[in-house]
Amino acid sequence: MRAGPSAEPWLVIPVKGAQGGKQRLASALPQPERELLGVTVSRRVLRAACEVWPAGAVVVVTPDPEVAELCRFLTLGVLPDPGASQTEAVRLGVHHALERGAQVVATLAADLPLLGRDDLVALLRLSRRLPERTMVLIPDLGGTGSNGMVVRPAAVLAHAFGPGSRLRHLGMGRALGLRTRELVRPGLAADLDRPRDLEELGGALGVLAGAGRG
């Protein structure tokens, strides 16, 4: 049985497991450092979500028991990720939100090292004011991928993440009759998908890695 309409937008955050994560960075970082970096960045994103997003309207989809434990400590919702794909993880979270009356659902990647509180505040404000039949895409720094999106109505499943997803998402949105826009902010765009991302974000990542070891 579904709940009545939710006044607040929901936020879905897929978080991969630490082990085996960030394989595309293998040529630049050994596995222990990749795992430390991934854990440190994702924990920052989850803590920021806890501080900014309305209580009870965040769900994290993850296969990692330590991430799940952190979510429970932060009072964030958490669902087990069956491991099919990022798209399937997001859709699992969207269905969870729909069952609780969500009208608007945002999704955001967890590998955003420059994400700040102001970025999430901007995303929340946009989500609260989103017109009907609208999709807002969050492109990555390279301009080819997607780090998230906001959709109203939430039941429109326009999620298709992976390489080249920006144009794919925009095309799907238009095919579904949605008004399509983009939200471009450095904190939402800079992710950790390519070795060159490590070079471009070197200073910030050094600070994060030090904090993760502390």
pLDDT bracket for residue 128 (50, 70, 90): very high
Q: Is residue 62 part of a domain?
A: yes
What pLDDT, in 10s, does the model give residues 40-51? Answer: 889 999 999 999
Task: Please report which confidence band the pLDDT of residue 17 belongs to, taking 50, 70 and 90 as the band edges.
Answer: confident
- pLDDT at 214 > cutoff 60: no
| DSSP structure string for 127-165 | HHTPPSSEEEEEE-TTSSSEEEEEEESTT------STTH
Total domains in the chain come to 1
Q: For residue 187, is it within any domain? A: yes
pTM for this prediction: 0.85
From residue 145, alpha-carbon distances to 45, 58, 109, 113, 118 in Å are: 19, 23, 11, 16, 22
Residue ranges making up the domain that contains 158: 10-207
3-state secondary structure of 46: helix
Q: Look at residue 18 in the predicted model and tell me its pLDDT.
A: 61
In a domain, 213, yes or no: no
- The answer to whether 73 and 50 are in contact (CB under 8 A) is no
Give 160-209 pLDDT, tens digit per residue: 999 899 999 999 999 999 999 999 999 999 887 554 555 555 544 454 44
H or E stretch covering 181: strand 179-182
The tokens describing 147, both together, are 């780090």
Token digits of residue 123: 């995303």
Phi, psi (degrees; rounded to nearest 5) at 80? -70, 135
In a domain, 153, yes or no: yes
Residue 212 belongs to some domain of the structure: no
Confidence of residue 33 (pLDDT cuts 50, 70, 90): low
Domain assignment of residue 1, yes or no: no
Q: Is residue 79 part of a domain?
A: yes
pLDDT value of residue 195: 47
**Three-state secondary-structure class, residue 50:** helix
- The string of DSSP letters for 19-31 reads TT--GGGTTTS-H
Q: Average pLDDT over the chain, rounded to whole? A: 85
Q: What is the CATH number of the domain that holds 93?
A: 3.90.550.10
Q: Is residue 130 part of a domain?
A: yes
Residue with tokens 């900014």: 52
